[in-house]
Chains A and B, each alone.
Chain A
Amino acid sequence: MTKLREFPIEGKYGKYGGKYIPETLVPAINELEEAYEKIRNDSDFKKELDYYLQNYAGRPTPLFFAKNLTDYVGGARIFLKREDLLHGGAHKTNNCLGQCLLAKRMGKKRIIAETGAGQHGVGTAMAAAVLGLKAEIYMGSIDIERQKLNLFRMELLGAKVHSVDSGTKTLKDAINEALRDWITNVKDTYYLIGSVVGPHPYPMIVRDFQSVIGEEIKYQIKNFTKRSPHALICCVGGGSNAMGTFFPFLDEKDVSLYGVEAGGLGVRTGKHSATLKEGSEGILHGMRTYLLQDEFGQINDTHSISAGLDYPGVGPQHVQLKDMERAEYVTCNDNEALDAFFKLSKLEGIIAALESCHAVSFAMKLARKMKRDENIIVTLSGRGDKDIDQVMKYRKKYIGR
């Protein structure tokens, strides 16, 4: 049987993935594919990336036993993979450093990227700055309004931010605009996608650069127990922190994998971002995957309290894992995520990103049903400083009820 870790095969994860792109991008995508094949097993490249991951970004990140949370829940032991401690405040930096180094090897000096909440934009701006590249970031005008602080951070880091006013003025439109830029400036520009989405080879490249999360978990868990963890839990927007956590464990069938999507105001309200749970097969942003779309194939608006999960598509490898029932995808509503946000802050002294709190919330539910000698690992994909304003606003409503 084919091992799950062998995918993509010919650019596909089962029937998902592929390259659905304007012809102008085909040479650029092929060039990227060739360049990546060359460096992925190149020890010099690995050494250089490791250097930056350790000395610049602060890897490895700790695996922390959340004893207070575990005692509070009263079930399986909960461990937290602390990507929130990575430079930049989120796992995004792993991928940005990897791809910026790749771009440099390819001789590309101009980096473009899309960003929703701004985390990938900040990560790109940081990596570009330290590696001497020029970064331009596309961000929806509504997202800019919601995340003014990140706009300023990107500018401080020397990036140029383009406000995107087309369509729904959010992440998916920022991706559209970045793709249009790439079509126009294809010769000298490197498009740095921030999640495991887009045409092949992007879902693979981003997954590989994020797999450092799961690789570290593999040896760090040995300090606590002999066996592999019983369950891995991550939030899923596009799905990069989840894929980075899952990938090294894909062929270990006794490790359960859970992806937690944003249930927003509740999946029945239609105001959510639960693509795997509620979506259907479609083609967008260069890939065949699951999409939130209407009966005619128009892409829906999405909703989540956390801008980082607010995307109507999802990485194609996740769809394969869902179809094969290798991973289970569940949802967590805005209120549940907020509740986990408060609990984690008070019990463990960790203010985690609202995105990550979706995973924490589900972990609390799952742990209750599991035995005390079983282990759950939750990837805390980012820190919550960026969400403070929003939480304050919600808290007024929340407590007022």
Chain B
Amino acid sequence: MSYLQNNRIEKKFYQLKAKKQKGLICYIMGGYPNPIACERIISSIVDGGADIIEIGIPFSDPIADGPVIQEASFRALQKGVTPQICLNLIRKTRKRYPDLPIVIMTYSNILQKNGFRQFMEMAKEAGTDGFILPDMTIDESKKYLEYSKNLELASIFLVAPNTSNLRIKKTLAVSTGFVYVVSVFGTTGMRNSFNKYTLTAIKNIKKLSSNKKNISVGFGISTPDHVKLMSNYGADAVIVGSAIIKKINGNKDGSIIQLQNNLRNYVKSLKAACTN
């Protein structure tokens, strides 16, 4: 199985495990609701205790995303957010937080348009540690994997509740940083509760990974109880996305300071659930 020694993500998981903590991965949409607010949002999330930041680069056709992230994507594009603006955001975040693992989540066409290698080089240079591409399958990933390896970028693949054991093993073998376990049948977005199949899937993937890969669970997670539930079944980290975007949307009339406080407290409450 491949492993990236100098990657901030792998280091972070190593530290978390030493502290017997679970990781908290927080998603924000790059440049949303606007580039300046977005920088401050990242700060509050990191201050609140996020271990890894996932920055979305908006795409016009986000097929794996539910309504909340779709809408944020659409609005970001309408305001003129480009991949470059997102990379600049990463550059600034990297300066402020030299050790913070930063992952880009976007769709393959954003990389394809520049050329996968060129885009990944630019992202690396800006301070990115890895990529999550929900429409990139292991079957189509030969070149992407080659570039990831050369640039020491984590290639984070997704595993779904219906992925076969054989395919899980293949995915575990080529994933670096962590493996993204999709908790549900569906798109991103908050759920009130989770079915048994989700927990069975996490347990199964954990077992197949024989503790050699970091398992992060995402889609639908929004409360400290969810965090505990996923942790109990073997997740090494949880990913929270739509819930954060929703908090940003809910702040329409409030000040940015108030939003920052809300987000910091919210992230704190999630991180607290990672620590016991």
Question: Which A positions have Cβ atoms within 8 angstroms of B?
Answer: 18-24, 26-27, 166-167, 172-173, 176, 179-180, 183-187, 280-286, 288, 291, 293, 295-299
Contacts and interface: CB of A to CB of B under 8 A. Distances in A.
B249 interface: no
B162 interface: yes
B253 interface: no
A295 B66 CA distance: 26
Interface string B52-72: 000000011111101100110
B112 A184 contact: no
A286 B107 CA distance: 11
B134 interface: yes
8 contacts: A21-B137, A23-B158, A27-B162, A167-B70, A172-B61, A183-B187, A184-B185, A284-B61
B109 A293 contact: yes
A26 B71 CA distance: 26
Given A176-B61, A185-B185, A298-B60, A24 B160 contact: yes
B108 A283 contact: yes
Contact of B137 (A20, A187, A296): A20
B244 interface: no
Interface string B107-123: 11111111000000000
B135 interface: yes
Interface of B: 59-64, 66-67, 70-71, 74, 77, 82-83, 107-114, 134-137, 139-140, 157-164, 167, 171, 182, 185-187
Given A22-B160, A24-B185, A298-B59, 8 more contacts: A21-B135, A22-B182, A24-B186, A173-B61, A183-B63, A183-B64, A282-B112, A283-B135
B70 A20 contact: no
A27 B60 contact: no
Contacts of A20: 108, 135-137, 140
Contacts of A176: 61-63
B51 to A, nearest CB: 24
B112 A19 contact: no
A18 B185 contact: no
A281 B186 CA distance: 28
Nearest to B159: A23
Contacts of B82: 296
B135 A26 contact: no
A171 to B, nearest CB: 11
B140 A18 contact: yes
A180 B187 contact: yes
A26 B59 CA distance: 22
B60 A183 contact: no
A297 B110 contact: yes
Nearest to A166: B70
A19 B162 contact: no
Contact of B64 (A19, A22, A27, A296): A22
Given A176-B61, A282-B112, A24 B139 contact: no
Contacts of B67: 166
A282 B109 contact: yes
Contact of A23 (B66, B77, B111, B182): B182
Contacts of B161: 24
Contacts of A187: 162, 185
Contacts of B63: 22, 176, 179-180, 183, 285
Contact of B186 (A166, A183, A282, A298): A183
Contact of A297 (B113, B140, B159, B186): B113
A281 B185 CA distance: 30
Contacts of B186: 24, 180, 183-184
Contacts of B167: 26
Contact of B113 (A21, A22, A293): A293
A290 B82 CA distance: 21
A327 to B, nearest CB: 24
A280 B108 CA distance: 15
B112 A297 contact: yes
Nearest to A200: B139
Given A23-B137, A298-B60, A283 B163 contact: no
Contacts of A22: 63-64, 134-135, 158, 160, 182
A174 to B, nearest CB: 11
B137 A19 contact: yes
Given A27-B162, A296-B82, A19 B140 contact: yes
Given A24-B185, A183-B186, A283 B109 contact: yes
B165 to A, nearest CB: 12
Nearest to A301: B60
A297 B109 contact: yes
A60 B139 CA distance: 40
A282 B187 contact: no
A82 B162 CA distance: 44
Given A18-B140, A19-B139, A20-B140, A27 B163 contact: yes
B182 A24 contact: yes
B164 to A, nearest CB: 7
A296 B185 contact: no
Nearest to B184: A184
Nearest to A291: B109
A286 B61 CA distance: 11
B140 A298 contact: no
A154 to B, nearest CB: 23
A299 B70 CA distance: 14
A289 to B, nearest CB: 11
A281 B111 CA distance: 12
A183 B135 CA distance: 12
A176 B59 CA distance: 12
B150 to A, nearest CB: 21
Contact of A282 (B113, B136, B140, B163): B113
B195 to A, nearest CB: 13
Quick one: which of B60, B77, B160 has the most chain A CB within 10 A? Answer: B60
A296 B79 CA distance: 14
Nearest to B108: A283
Contacts of B62: 176
B126 to A, nearest CB: 16
Nearest to B66: A180
